[in-house]
Structure formats: structure tokens, C-alpha cells
Amino acid sequence: MGYNKKMFGLGSRRSIIREIFEYSKKRAAEIGADNVYDFSLGNPSVPAPDEVNDAIASLIASESSVLLHGYTSAQGDANVRKIISDKISESFGVNISPNLIYMTCGAAASLSICLKALIEEDSDECIVFAPFFTEYRVFIENAGGRIVISNPEPDTFQIDIADFESRLTRNTKAVIVNSPNNPSGVVYSEKTVRALCEVLKRKSQEFSHPIYLIADEPYRELVYSGVKVPYLMNYYDNTLVCYSYSKSLSLPGERIGYIAVSPTMEEGENVYLAVCGAGRSLGYVCAPSLFQQVIARCIDAKVNVEAYKENRDILYDNLTAYGYKCVKPDGAFYLFVKAPEDDAYKFYERAKKHELLVVPCDDFGVFGYVRIAYCTDKQKVIGSLPAFHALAEEYGL
């Protein structure tokens, strides 16, 4: 009786990232923000492109505010969906109709809606690839499913195809792929994607039901040096793409993104209707109207990815020179660093003594690593180097 204890658990146990973020604010008040090197939160540091602010100003000046701030259709404004489907067709060669686009409040909502749309039975399983975004567990379990974790190839953090295959069962309903990856920054290669999709096709046939591939893509645009992120619809028919403008346009607080259902999906129109039903049952009503219109006007806008690349290069080059071990990230804004001792929490505590705030990654499904979110000011990154150096010396690296 009483309130829901599972929800109480979620609400009362703050994620480690939030915990560190709160500590950072407290510490900044004590010793000054300039002296705290907070690499905890994936909050974009690069401003939204000028086009976004111009679009907001011009929409407010020119559109009827009743329409601008009103409800849209549940699946999103038809013209906005048309602009997005045209962009997908142009960018990836997938001929997708606006009727397969569903506007959402960002990737978190997209994922929750997709999982709710697909998961039916308590026994339904959803495979995630470690290291994985910790909220997947919350979204999968909230949709009534079970999370199954596949371990990565140890040195590259690419998907270990043999491990993946061993995790698939008749209960596998969906698989979530996140590339560029949070927290590793790794982009899954085309070879990995092909191998993954080959297994999915074979197993779907063997089990006589579709296994859905959910592509979680908030970092698609944040890639360095021309690295290509394969578009999963081009490799596997039963794909749903969960896209978000949180990182690609630096708009995380505005909550805007979409779900795209592959035009070649089995019973795709019905799956789309299940997506609409899931959005309805979760009470989303519609994605923010103003920001749907902003997206329509800024469909080609880009943030300054070069700023993230500079931070990546400074950190990767210096930390590896000090003796730390990490995979060179091709995208997102995270560096995944092997803790110089087995226990990532102990390393985190020792880093804290140098005012370095990094995130121990046990909850991401890989032990003994920390995440450095380098979506921060370049001067801060440079300023943190002596502390990383001193810490490396302490460990005798």
C-alpha cells in the first residue's frame, strides 16, 4: 500500500553523475569555480548556432502566438515532419515518409516511447552494449522489459559480436545501439554494424519474429576528422532511429527530437501506430511546438564541433603522455579512461583530492573506468592538466 516503491527508489537515489554535479557546485562555492575541474555532466558547452536564436526571435515576431504555443498533432506538425523526412532522405538515401516520423521531447522520450511501443511481456528482453547510457536500465524496466548486457571487445570497445550472439534468446525484443557512444566516445565501425545486422537477421529468422534495432543517436553529428557513422536503416529493416537535437544543436533543455521508423520495417505502419499509442500512454501529448518550428527553420544548422575536437585532442594527447590508458574517441564529447587501480570509485576519490571531477563508470556496465565529459571550456581543460599530471605521478604511471 502507499506510493510506488520502485519510483521512490528512482527518485531518492540520485545518479552518481548528479551526485558529483551537486558536489561540484558546493566545492565551487568553497574554493571558486575556476579551481574546480568538473568533467561530470554531458551538458553541451558550445552555444546553439545563431540560426536557432534568430529563428526563435523571428517566429515570436511573425507567428500568431496562439498557433505557435498551441498543441500540435500528437505525432508533430506535418510540415516539420516533412522537412525532417526530406533531410533524412537527402542525408542517408532512405526514402522515408513524414508519416513515419514522430516528434518527441528528446532522445530520452524517444527511447521510452519506442520501448513502450515494442515491449509486451514481462519476459521481453532488450540487449544493450556495455558501456551504455545508464538510463537505458530505467527506460527498459519502466516499459516492463528486462535489460540484458553484452560485453564489448576489451581494447576497442566495439561490439563483441560473439558475446552479442550469445545473449540473444527467443525473448529478445529489441537491441539498443548508441554510436557515437556515451561514455566511450567510440563510433561503431561499418564492419561492426554489418556483423551485428547479419546476426540480427539470422536470429530473427530462427526465432520467427522481428528483433527491433533501436538506434540512439543524440551524438550523430558530433564526430571528428570525417569519421562516418553508418545509418542503421541502411543495414537493417526493422530499425527505429531515436534522434535528438540536445547535443547536435546544443538544446538539451528545450527537449526536442524525433523517432523515425524505417520505411522497410515489417508492419512498419503498425509499429508507427504503436509508437503513437506509447507516446499517448506516457502522456507526452506533443513535442514542444515552438521548438518543432525552430527545427524546421534550422534543419541544416550545425554547432561548432571543432571546439569539442580541440578539447579531445588536448586531453587525449596529454593524458596518454602522462601514462593514462584510453581509447581515442571519434565522437561525442567523452573520454573513457582506465582507472590506474581496479576500483574506479577509489580513483574517483583520489582525483577529487586534486579537484578533478570524473565519473566512475561501474553503472555503465564496464568496471575500472572513469568518464571525462570534455564538453567544457577549453581553458578549463588546459587548466586541469597539471592536476591530471600530479595524479598520474601519485600512481607512478
SS3 362: helix
Residue type for position 326:
C
Q: How far is the CB of 44 from ligand PLP (least distance, A)?
A: 10
C-alpha dihedral (335, 339, 343, 347), degrees to nearest 10: -90
What is the per-residue DSSP string for 30-64?
A: HH-GGG-EE-------SPPPHHHHHHHHHHHHHS-
Site membership for ligand PLP, residue 42 (CB under 6 A): yes
What is the per-residue DSSP string for 70-103?
A: S---TT--HHHHHHHHHHHHHHH-----GGGEEE
Q: How far is the CB of 341 from ligand PLP (least distance, A)?
A: 27
Please, what is the Cα angle at 186 between 331 and 84, to 5 degrees?
Answer: 50
Residue 143 vs 391, nearer CB to ligand PLP = 143
Site membership for ligand PLP, residue 364 (CB under 6 A): no
SS3 132: coil
Q: How far is the CB of 81 from ligand PLP (least distance, A)?
A: 18
Listed ranges 81-89, 101-109, 164-172, 312-320: which one lies at the site for ligand PLP (CB under 6 A): 101-109
Cα separation of the two ends of the chain: 55
Report d(CA 36, CA 330) in Å as an integer: 27
Residues of span 186-245 touching ligand PLP by CB under 6 A: 216, 218, 244
Residue 252 vs 360, nearer CB to ligand PLP = 252
Listed ranges 103-111, 156-164, 304-312, 340-348: which one lies at the site for ligand PLP (CB under 6 A): 103-111
Residues of span 125-144 touching ligand PLP by CB under 6 A: 133
Residues of span 159-178 touching ligand PLP by CB under 6 A: 178
Q: Using alpha carbons, list the distances in angstroms from residue 162 to 128, 203, 249, 367.
A: 14, 13, 36, 20
Number of residues that bind ligand PLP (CB under 6 A): 13
Name the nearest CA neighbour of 207 among 183, 238, 184. 238
Q: Is 197 exposed, middle or buried (0-12, 13-18, 19+ CB in 10 A)?
A: buried
Taking CB under 6 A as the criterion, the residue among 44, 49, 76, 106 binding ligand PLP is 106
Residue 242 vs 391, nearer CB to ligand PLP = 242
Per-residue binding string, ligand PLP, 254-283, x by CB under 6 A, is: ---x--------------------------
Site membership for ligand PLP, residue 107 (CB under 6 A): yes
Residue 77 vs 216, nearer CB to ligand PLP = 216
Chain residues that interact with ligand PLP, rule: CB under 6 A: 42, 106-108, 133, 178, 182, 216, 218, 244, 246, 252, 257
